[in-house]
Amino acid sequence: MVVVMAADATDEQAGGVVELVRKAGGDAFVSRGVSRTIIGLTGDVDHFATLNLASQPGVSDVVRISVPYKLVSREHRRERSVIRVAGVPIGPDTLTVIAGPCAVETAEQTLESARMAKAAGASLLRGGAYKPRSSPYAFQGLGEAGLRILADVRAETGLPVVTEVVDPGDVDLVASYADMLQVGTRNMQNFPLLQAVGGAGKPVMLKRGMNATIEEWLMAAEYIAQRGNLDIVLCERGIRTFEKATRNTLDISAVPVAQRLSHLPVIVDPSHSGGRRDLVLPLSRAAIAVGADGIIVDVHPRPEAALCDGPQALIESDLRELASVAAHLSPLVGRTRVNPCLTATGARANLVGQLA
Amino acid sequence: MVVVMAADATDEQAGGVVELVRKAGGDAFVSRGVSRTIIGLTGDVDHFATLNLASQPGVSDVVRISVPYKLVSREHRRERSVIRVAGVPIGPDTLTVIAGPCAVETAEQTLESARMAKAAGASLLRGGAYKPRSSPYAFQGLGEAGLRILADVRAETGLPVVTEVVDPGDVDLVASYADMLQVGTRNMQNFPLLQAVGGAGKPVMLKRGMNATIEEWLMAAEYIAQRGNLDIVLCERGIRTFEKATRNTLDISAVPVAQRLSHLPVIVDPSHSGGRRDLVLPLSRAAIAVGADGIIVDVHPRPEAALCDGPQALIESDLRELASVAAHLSPLVGRTRVNPCLTATGARANLVGQLA
Amino acid sequence: MVVVMAADATDEQAGGVVELVRKAGGDAFVSRGVSRTIIGLTGDVDHFATLNLASQPGVSDVVRISVPYKLVSREHRRERSVIRVAGVPIGPDTLTVIAGPCAVETAEQTLESARMAKAAGASLLRGGAYKPRSSPYAFQGLGEAGLRILADVRAETGLPVVTEVVDPGDVDLVASYADMLQVGTRNMQNFPLLQAVGGAGKPVMLKRGMNATIEEWLMAAEYIAQRGNLDIVLCERGIRTFEKATRNTLDISAVPVAQRLSHLPVIVDPSHSGGRRDLVLPLSRAAIAVGADGIIVDVHPRPEAALCDGPQALIESDLRELASVAAHLSPLVGRTRVNPCLTATGARANLVGQLA
Amino acid sequence: MVVVMAADATDEQAGGVVELVRKAGGDAFVSRGVSRTIIGLTGDVDHFATLNLASQPGVSDVVRISVPYKLVSREHRRERSVIRVAGVPIGPDTLTVIAGPCAVETAEQTLESARMAKAAGASLLRGGAYKPRSSPYAFQGLGEAGLRILADVRAETGLPVVTEVVDPGDVDLVASYADMLQVGTRNMQNFPLLQAVGGAGKPVMLKRGMNATIEEWLMAAEYIAQRGNLDIVLCERGIRTFEKATRNTLDISAVPVAQRLSHLPVIVDPSHSGGRRDLVLPLSRAAIAVGADGIIVDVHPRPEAALCDGPQALIESDLRELASVAAHLSPLVGRTRVNPCLTATGARANLVGQLA
């Protein structure tokens, strides 16, 4: 059970709810988000129903939810959500392609990748300035210098920027450059980071932990949502199995399963799933056909020289084929491809019309 | 390295090859298949190359293969194979749908399921008379009575029959009824069974072990191939992971990976992968889009009364939707749907024309 | 619920029980073992309790069991069982060491291994004549010639023989040589094989499937027990995980867990678990300390020349250290080491005295 | 290859090494620790060997290491390390018991747990003030109030404190109270946190990620070591598998494997591995017997009322049995049990004598 406080509710009013619940033998956890305060209740829910919480001062809504994740569940919101990243929609009626280099290495490489991405129909640019790497001796990213490159490339190409943040202490800095914050697979259960991005005022892409169940993934999303941020996109990127032919095993079933349990959009990363360039196109086809709300792929002008994950990066000819695949498959699954030119030039009325 | 003996080669000639290899410090394993004898060599392959094996008496071919599976590899046969099951093709140019009840329960249920399957475009009938079940207290199948039902339903509907065999001692009996023998996931490394079906003179569907790597799967196929039977279809049916929302995790990447490594057709079982009726259609779309050569699905006229795996069985309306999905997606991946009416009535020239 | 029929019950009497249960809306599965017939019931157990099954003609006992495995559960038999292999006990009061070569290669290698094993305190000889191998090009065992070698070595050393059977059709042959039949990890769910060894009249060692849960393992044991054979020893041999430093991951917790759920003895195979000679001793110490009823290890006089699993075989000096470990740890966990000399020379009264 | 700079080396000198390496076609990553600067080199190591790096200004040592983790490897330091936590040793000659409540709930519960722990021979107190929980609605710990309770209980009992930190921003605060910082399983690849604890000047206990390989675990330790902190204790706490009878699967082999690869001490957490009170003692016996350098267990005066992980907490009678187990098994594996009374009262000369 979740109590949603009104926008102008006071701390005392939230405290009153907590006291009432504790007197009734339960427990209550207050989460203060940017725009609203939410109180999660645990204990004997049937008994709480007799407390008439909905009419307590400052309470806006009381939601009874059976699953352990509350705000991100479809019990809380029936309709599937559309998340907008600087105006670019990700949701049930569209197919959004996000592309870019795994890591920002230089201004030239990033710009070249972004142009390749845009030409192939991508409407968002991905690129890592902070790279969590298993080995401390591997390239760790350019840091803020990388963020500046991404901002410059956005100015040049019009593509909004999705980039990873790994340290709660960096969230404000990264959010000042990025249009969407990415939480990576290794950080899916980094709870202080989830809470920090929950309060950063920017949409968040939450990658599934490489060993997480879908339920754990949704509970991680709930950490973000609790801080008042429901602009979350889930990204399936492969789970660890004993199969060695692929870097990870794309759990394609996770897309429809997560979409049934949660109202949040679900996209697929075929590049990190397979870890092989030759699998990106077949896995993209599978992702679109299964009903993903978008895909995110690595591109690189010269994969053989990439500082990170070169073996899985697409080159120009692959991207053309991917664009063609997306164009042909989207209508079959009832989706409009998001057109980067339109969104970038502000002619969004058109697109919104298509989606209505 | 594999030495393929001529059809009329004698045992002495095979023995001569073995002796030559052993003298050179290696080892040689002779497999006598129905139609040919194959000798697999292990040891210093570079040295064997100097033995001039190809010109020994009785030797038809010498194939140098780097992977541990030989006959089923694309190093051995460049072109992807087409397997025919009573005339129905499974291969790179077609999309073959196999459908039927998980278990044969009664003549009526089997016939009804077969008619549902055929109406939805299936060209082969699946159905289990021998059911390997985790619990000895679960329904174990009707045995030979089930095989007779399958044969009657084939006579009635024209659909060739795919059915599982679990005991090497039953292979001849099952082969006398079936058009294709199925080796189930729990038996993927049941080597005496693999060898028995290898010698049975019928095509074999080899399901991937629920915990097997792709390499182990191909080595299991090699056991069948060694006995002279290359009419093998690989079936991905989900692997075991820690995810609990689905019965197994469909390893969708396994389709393109296995197709690159082996010339054998690869089909997908979306019913056993997900274990949920609501996932069969999305996973079928993913399977067709990724490039599978066919799909195999459970159907049941009354899933709620099924003796086995009811929760995943499709009903009539699902099957109509599946037929529509297959019709729309097949051309996008360059495939012709196999038409059951044509194949069942013998008008195959037509179909072959389409495939050429 | 399980109905155990009397030894002299007729088929008609068993049929009467089945009919009664089916009329009551349930289902009943009859298993005819060597010495008794067992009927497993599924359905509304509370309702069956009103049928007064215990007083039906031919019924010896009615056992209500909540877990899916019945006969092997501790609900069925409170006390932990002692299994005797040609007089050698495996059970809660002893520590039984089984040792020998992974594969029987030659008479000399087998005899030498057996002598090493005996000198180190092993009381049973292991050795494979039928080897299930992932690759059809790997050494597959000597077959019956290997069984003859084992019988000769038993005659020479007095050590009873444990050996694997892989084909239901070979069970009688193997049982005619062996003192204990082994079902390997790949065959844990080979149900016809389980049923065949259940009827062979010899004790069975059932290795855990490399990907099986403990519940599945116990249900596999139930297949054997259903045929009237409760002389089963469970062997934990490592499960498959993503860890690459070891061949498998020894699930040491499985020992106490399986012992709590089942009355059957549980032993550990540290050789196949780790796949590394340097881990056999530490894992043996862990197995004894956790409470295993025995251990089974690979030995080889010349591991570098072994045809199978050389890297994990112990040599003479390792075995001496293992004997010392077993001697020191056994008393700490309340166990007597089984003395091979005593059991081999028939002086068992002594040992039985120790165990009483 | 790793270049260790002298304590008084300047930034320019480190920069000179980097420049030299880059000119030679390689790459160099500078890590500035509290007490020393380390430069990790990647590229053609044979070529670097010709650069005569050891004689460059400011260079103290050049270490050639083949494994991806460098400073924590036994190639870097042959002898196994002893880590001291406020004087309490953890290392190859001792068996150190760490015990305490999973979460600090109240001053009374913590003090009572600590007294139970001490009476049972524990020499360090564990207890969480910051609890990373899968659900945002679960108890998240008392935060700094919990740290103050731990400090008070240390003053009362003399037991040094081990406690978890989850946010890089909290490291200094937690380090001001704790004697040892714990990095939990979900944070094993939280690289900013690893770097922060690497610079905090306190020993660190690094739990293995529940899905991490041993190699990844050691690379995570390397992140800490790179910052100049080699006072790291590795803690195996179970990995995720498909087995459902236990919360996680204790990878007992990881203890000897990690000890062979790294000079760092390795301890075992039997409480979180099994997640069941009835398994803690058997798994503790296994851990000690396999050669662990210590164990860490959950205790609680009233497990049924625990806010976190009650089902696995030991009570007083269990602890007495654990003490007895540790006393009997330690000498068998060549270890002295660390005596909390001695260490707590400062009479450490005695103990050090024993360990010398």
Give the span between the Cα atoms of D173 and D178, in whole angstroms. 9
Q: Report chain C residues whose CB lies below 8 A from the CB of A242.
A: 240-242
Same domain, D57 and D135: no
In chain D, which residue's Cα lies nearest the Cα of A211?
A: D211
Helix (H, G, I), strand (E, B) or coil at A334: coil
Number of domains comprising chain B: 2
- Which residue range is the domain that position B18 belongs to? 2-63
In a domain? residue C59:
yes
Calculate the alpha carbon distances from D306 to A26, B137, D106, D284 in Å.
Answer: 15, 40, 11, 22
Q: Give the distance from residue D314's alpha carbon to the nearest chain A alpha carbon, in angstroms.
A: 25
In a domain? residue A78:
no
In a domain? residue C74:
no
Q: Give the distance from residue C156's alpha carbon to the nearest chain B alpha carbon, in angstroms.
A: 31
pLDDT of residue D344 exceeding 50? no
In a domain? residue B69:
no
Report pLDDT digits (tens) over B11-42: 999 999 999 999 988 888 787 766 678 888 87
Q: Give the distance from residue D297's alpha carbon to the nearest chain A alpha carbon, in angstroms.
A: 23
The reported pLDDT for the residue numbered D314 is: 93
- DSSP state, residue A307: S
SS (H, E, C) B219-288: HHHHHHHHCCCCCEEEEECCECCCCCCCCCECECCHHHHHHHHECCCEEECHHHHHCCHHHHHHHHHHHH
Give the span between the Cα atoms of D213 and D211, in whole angstroms. 7
The reported pLDDT for the residue numbered D35 is: 67
Residues of D with CB under 8 A from a CB of A: 27, 29, 31, 40-42, 68-70, 132-140, 166-170, 186-187, 189-193, 210-211, 216, 219, 222-223, 226, 240
In a domain? residue B74:
no
pLDDT of residue C347 exceeding 70? no
Same domain, C222 and C93: yes
**Which DSSP string do the residues of D54-119 spell out, in sequence order?**
GGSTTEEEEE---SS--TTBTTT--SPP-EEETTEEESTTEEEEEEE-SB---HHHHHHHHHHHHH
Pairing of β D232-236 and β A27-32: unpaired
Q: Report chain D residues whose CB lies below 8 A from the CB of B241.
A: 242
Pair C185, C209: CB distance under 8 Å: yes
Same domain, A254 and A343: yes
- Tens place of pLDDT per residue across chain B (356 aa): 888 888 889 999 999 999 999 998 888 878 776 667 888 887 777 888 888 898 899 998 888 877 888 899 998 888 999 999 999 999 999 999 999 999 999 999 999 999 999 999 999 999 999 999 998 888 889 999 999 999 999 999 999 999 999 999 999 999 999 999 999 999 999 999 999 999 999 999 999 999 999 999 999 999 999 888 999 999 999 999 989 999 999 999 999 999 999 999 999 999 999 999 999 999 999 999 999 999 999 999 999 888 888 889 999 999 999 999 999 999 989 998 886 544 433 333 332 223 22
Contact between chains at C241 and A241 (C-beta distance less than 8 A): no
Contact between chains at A285 and B290 (C-beta distance less than 8 A): yes
Contact between chains at B216 and C192 (C-beta distance less than 8 A): no
Return the CATH number at D31. 3.30.70.1140
In chain D, which residue's Cα lies nearest the Cα of C288?
A: D286
Same domain, C94 and C19: no
In a domain? residue A68:
no
Out of D246, D256, D286, the one facing C290 most closely (by C-beta) is: D286
Return the CATH number at C336. 3.20.20.70
Pair C308, C126: CB distance under 8 Å: no
Q: What are phi and psi of A117, to 5 degrees?
A: -60, -45
User: Which residues contact residue D232 at a Cβ distance below 8 angstroms, ignoring those fewer than 6 apart?
Assistant: D72, D83, D203, D204, D205, D206, D221, D224, D225, D264
Same domain, A52 and A156: no
In chain D, which residue's Cα lies nearest the Cα of B241?
A: D242
Pair D123, D159: CB distance under 8 Å: yes
Same domain, D195 and D268: yes
Q: Give the distance from residue D64's alpha carbon to the nearest chain B alpha carbon, in angstroms.
A: 34
User: Which residues contact residue B356 at a Cβ distance below 8 angstroms, ignoring those fewer than 6 apart?
Assistant: none
Give the span between the Cα atoms of D284 and D122, in whole angstroms. 13
**Which DSSP string do the residues of A184-233 spell out, in sequence order?**
-GGGTT-HHHHHHHHTSSS-EEEEPPTT--HHHHHHHHHHHHHTT---EE
Report pLDDT digits (tens) over A61-100: 888 877 888 899 998 888 999 999 999 999 999 999 999 9
Of A228 and B153, more confident? B153
Same domain, B119 and B157: yes
Sign of the C-alpha dihedral computed for residues B247, B252, B257 and B260 taken in this order: positive
In a domain? residue D68:
no
Of D66 and A144, more confident? A144
Residues of A with CB under 8 A from a CB of C: 240-242
Pair C33, C228: CB distance under 8 Å: yes
User: Which residues contact residue A142 at a Cβ distance below 8 angstroms, ignoring those fewer than 6 apart?
Assistant: A103, A104, A105, A129, A149
Q: What is the pTM of this model?
A: 0.89
Report pLDDT digits (tens) over A158-167: 999 999 999 9
Report pLDDT digits (tens) over D252-309: 999 999 999 999 999 999 999 999 999 999 999 999 999 999 999 999 999 988 888 8
Which residue, among C145, C174, C110, has the nearest Cα to C306 in the 3D structure? C110
Which residue, among B317, B339, C213, B218, has the nearest Cα to A244 in the 3D structure? B218
Same domain, A15 and A44: yes
Same domain, D55 and D117: no
Pair D254, D216: CB distance under 8 Å: no
Q: Report chain C residues whose CB lies below 8 A from the CB of D257.
A: 245-246, 279
Contact between chains at C166 and B191 (C-beta distance less than 8 A): yes
Pull the structure tokens for residue D169.
Answer: 């921003």
Q: Give the distance from residue D81's alpha carbon to the nearest chain C alpha carbon, in angstroms.
A: 20
User: Which residues contact residue D50 at a Cβ distance below 8 angstroms, ignoring those fewer than 6 apart?
Assistant: none
Q: Where are the alpha helices (DSSP H) in chain B?
A: 11-23, 45-48, 107-119, 144-157, 171-177, 191-198, 214-226, 254-261, 270-274, 277-290, 316-332, 340-345, 348-355
Same domain, B12 and B107: no
Q: What are phi and psi of D113, to 5 degrees?
A: -60, -45
Same domain, D20 and D114: no
Q: How many CA atoms lie within 13 A of D131 on its CB side?
A: 23
The reported pLDDT for the residue numbered B355 is: 28
The reported pLDDT for the residue numbered C46 is: 80
pLDDT of residue C51 exceeding 90? no
In a domain? residue A75:
no
Long-range CB pairs of C299-305 (<8 Å, 24+ gap) are: C299/C99, C299/C100, C299/C101, C299/C113, C299/C116, C299/C117, C300/C101, C300/C102, C300/C109, C300/C113, C301/C109, C301/C112, C301/C113, C301/C116, C302/C109, C303/C277
Residues of A with CB under 8 A from a CB of D: 27, 29, 31, 40-42, 68-70, 132-140, 166-170, 186-187, 189-192, 210-211, 216, 219, 222-223, 226, 240
Calculate the alpha carbon distances from C171 to A218, C177, C199 in Å.
Answer: 51, 10, 9
Q: Give the distance from residue A117's alpha carbon to the nearest chain D alpha carbon, in angstroms.
A: 29
* H or E element at residue A99: strand A94-100
Sign of the C-alpha dihedral computed for residues C166, C167, C170 and C176 taken in this order: positive
Pull the structure tokens for residue D297.
Answer: 């267990």
Q: What is the mean pLDDT of residues D57-71?
A: 86
Chains touching chain C at 3 or more Cβ pairs under 8 angstroms?
A: A, B, D
Pair D51, D24: CB distance under 8 Å: yes
Same domain, B259 and B157: yes
Q: Report chain B residues whose CB lies below 8 A from the CB of C166.
A: 190-192
